[in-house]
Amino acid sequence: MEILQPPNWPRPKGYSNGIKAKGDMVFVAGQVGWNEKEEFESDALVDQVKQALKNILSVLKECDAGPEHIVRLTWFVTHKQEYLDNQKQLGAVYREVMGNTYPVMSLIQIAGLVEQGAKIEIEATAMV
């Protein structure tokens, strides 16, 4: 993969402006912050993000891929202010689960998610 960073732009924090990649594309459906039994263990956004990211990695493991293969994440949050208020903790949890992988990302605030109690849903695209 090659990170695409225009020379006069400041380096973004926690994501990349663009990525050039080759390989097989893998698409991971939106993952919420519940466990493998489809149960939420916490209603805290930070905990749900951690679990959603772990869920993405569990799916990617099925094709021998890991966080280093992810080229795009799309985050859907139900409460933008809760996300903003927890950015430091979210960054720490992200690095704990994903390491120093910073794909392109988008964050979208939505009215709600289908799963009762979900605060976050994250979709992933990987190149393997």
Q: Domains in the chain, please, with CATH?
A: 25-127 (3.30.1330.40)
Q: Residue 84 belongs to what H/E stretch?
A: helix 80-85
Read off the pLDDT band of 1 (50, 70, 90).
confident
pLDDT in tens, 61-89: 999 999 999 999 999 999 999 999 999 99
pLDDT value, residue 115: 96
Phi-psi region of 38 (alpha: psi -120 to 50; beta: other; left: phi over 0): left
Say how many residues make up the chain: 128
pLDDT value, residue 15: 93
What's the rounded mean pLDDT across residues 106-127?
97
pTM score? 0.94
pLDDT in tens, 40-50: 999 999 999 99
